[in-house]
Amino acid sequence: MQAINQGQGELFEELVRRYQARLYNFGLRICKDSRDAEDLVQETFINIFRYMSGFRQESLFRNWVYRIAVSVCIKMRRRSKFAPERELSLEDVIPGDAAEAPEELPQWAREPVDRLLNEELGARIKAAIDELPPTYRLVVVLRDMEDFSTEETARILDISQANVKVRLHRARFSIREALKGYFSHEPS
């Protein structure tokens, strides 16, 4: 950052390379749309470039970047507050196949079933996270997917650590409730 601020602008490209994939994945988890995630990444880097001279190194640079990304996300949400909800995808409408695999499968046949079940569980977890209110989803993504600490998450979101813990607890409870049917073999 100091080198970029001192006129070595070409280093900004290295900064973009280092953070663009992480920010895109973060944006995809929060915005639930690839175009919105791309917009989030672009706006985040524009803001980083715009405000980099004001970075005082009081926090980790990574935390500062994510704080900007969260701010961009909130602004994007406000801009589209009155926009209609996104259309449901075909995957959201058609329930998964309820057929169960036979109990006695050879090992070679069991591996693809295990992989399929892991993918299905991953899709259900993603859907449960997508259904969370935005304030809870932000905390889950920052804590459980981006591996920020409670303290770092609180700083990024500008809320208390206690509030982070409450939101995380409520989000995890909601996800667990959404997955109950999956683990009990009941239709969800």
Residue 176: half-sphere exposure toward Cβ, Cα within 13 Å: 6
2-79 belongs to CATH 1.10.1740.10: yes
pLDDT band at 154 (very low <50, low <70, confident <90, very high): very high
The reply to whether 105-183 shares the fold of 2-79 is: no
Q: Domain segments of the chain: what residues?
A: 2-79, 105-183
Q: What's the predicted TM-score (pTM) here?
A: 0.58
> Which residues 6+ apart lie within 8 Å of 79 measured at CB?
none
Q: Which fold has domain 105-183?
A: Arc Repressor Mutant, subunit A (1.10.10)
Going by pLDDT thresholds of 50, 70 and 90, the confidence category of residue 124 is confident
pLDDT band at 5 (very low <50, low <70, confident <90, very high): low
Do 8 and 62 touch, CB atoms closer than 8 A? no
> Residue 131, Cα to own-chain centre: how many angstroms?
12
Residue type for position 38:
E
Tokens representing 28 are 């995809």
DSSP character at residue 87:
P
